[in-house]
Amino acid sequence: MRVTIAGAGNVGRSIAAELVENGHQVLLIDRDPRAIKADTLPEAEWLLADACELSTLEEAGIDTCDVAIAATGDDKANLVSSLLAKTEFGVPRTVARVNHPKNEWLFTDDWGVDHAVSTPRLMSALVEEAVSIGDLVRLLTFHEGSANLVELTLPASSPMVGSPIGDLRLPGDAVLVAIVRDGRAQAPDPDGSLEAGDELLFVATEDCEDDLTAMLAPRQLG
């Protein structure tokens, strides 16, 4: 897979290193000469240019990319880069970094953003998750549809503890995609059973989130 990353700062380089390690072709673009550190990741391509300019993206061959990532520290630049990648070059998937929560509402498909990643939101969600066993926590919203990535830590009082995973009848369009147990993520095993303390990750639409919570962690009355 070929990936272009706008922004070669610490965030962009970290993403690039991970992708290169996983066997992907990566091009890093930055207009700041100080950010071009090809010696730190010689396996990647580097381009000193402005990712918000059509000529730059054309030179980069972004139309041949599978994914365009906008990872600069400037929300305006990330929006413009994503919009150009999607509308002018037809990149199949765009991912944009949200630096300031107040700008999060802009990062939608109207601006060419398929997936927005907000570090403040993720961090706050993880804090909530750490102290809220039995509460559904929304980690990520997929802007291409109405689905969210949500997490719920199964309390010991849940009626689902001990239930075979293969027998779960989840509400609506909810799908169990992963279980984190003892600090390790694993794919759901239909022959396995749910355990107290399991961190359950679902892709679910907003309208079934309450039903999912009621099923897994019903509140005691009285």
Q: What is the CATH classification number for the domain harbouring 181?
A: 3.30.70.1450
pLDDT of 130 > 80? The answer is: no
More confident residue, 113 or 125: 113
Indicate if 29 and 108 belong to the same structural domain: yes
User: How far is the CA of 128 from the CAs of 125, 134, 145, in angstroms?
Assistant: 5, 11, 24
Which among 118, 114, 197, 189 is positioned nearest to 151, based on CA atoms? Answer: 197
Rounded Cα distance, 101 and 90, in Å: 27
Q: Provide the domain count of the chain.
A: 2
* 154 exposure class (CB count in 10 Å sphere: 0-12, 13-18, 19+): buried
Indicate if 169 and 71 belong to the same structural domain: no
Alpha-carbon Rg for the chain, nearest whole angstrom, is 20
- Average the pLDDT over each of 123-127, 164-168, 195-199 and give the range with the smallest value: 123-127
- Going by the DSSP 8-state scheme, the letter that residue 160 receives in this structure is T
pLDDT attached to residue 110:
92
215 confidence band (pLDDT: 50, 70, 90): very high
Q: How many Cα atoms within 13 Å fall on the side-chain side of residue 35?
A: 23
Indicate if 79 and 14 belong to the same structural domain: yes
The separation between the first and the last C-alpha atoms of the chain, rounded to the nearest angstrom, is: 55
134 confidence band (pLDDT: 50, 70, 90): confident
Rounded Cα distance, 172 and 153, in Å: 20
pLDDT attached to residue 123:
60
Angle CA 59–61–66, to nearest 5: 150
To the question of pTM greater than 0.85 for the whole model, the response is no
Indicate if 53 and 160 belong to the same structural domain: no
Indicate if 107 and 154 belong to the same structural domain: no
Domain that holds residue 149: 132-216
Residue 105 lies in a domain: yes
More confident residue, 183 or 109: 109
Number of H helices, E strands in the chain: 5, 11
**Residue 142: both structure tokens together:** 């997929």
**pLDDT, tens digit, for every residue of 10-66?**
889 999 999 999 899 999 999 999 999 999 999 999 999 999 999 999 988 999 999
pLDDT attached to residue 165:
94
Residue 126 lies in a domain: no
Contact in structure between 115 and 93 (CB atoms under 8 Å)? yes
Taking residues 67-78, what's their average pLDDT?
A: 95
Rounded Cα distance, 169 and 166, in Å: 9
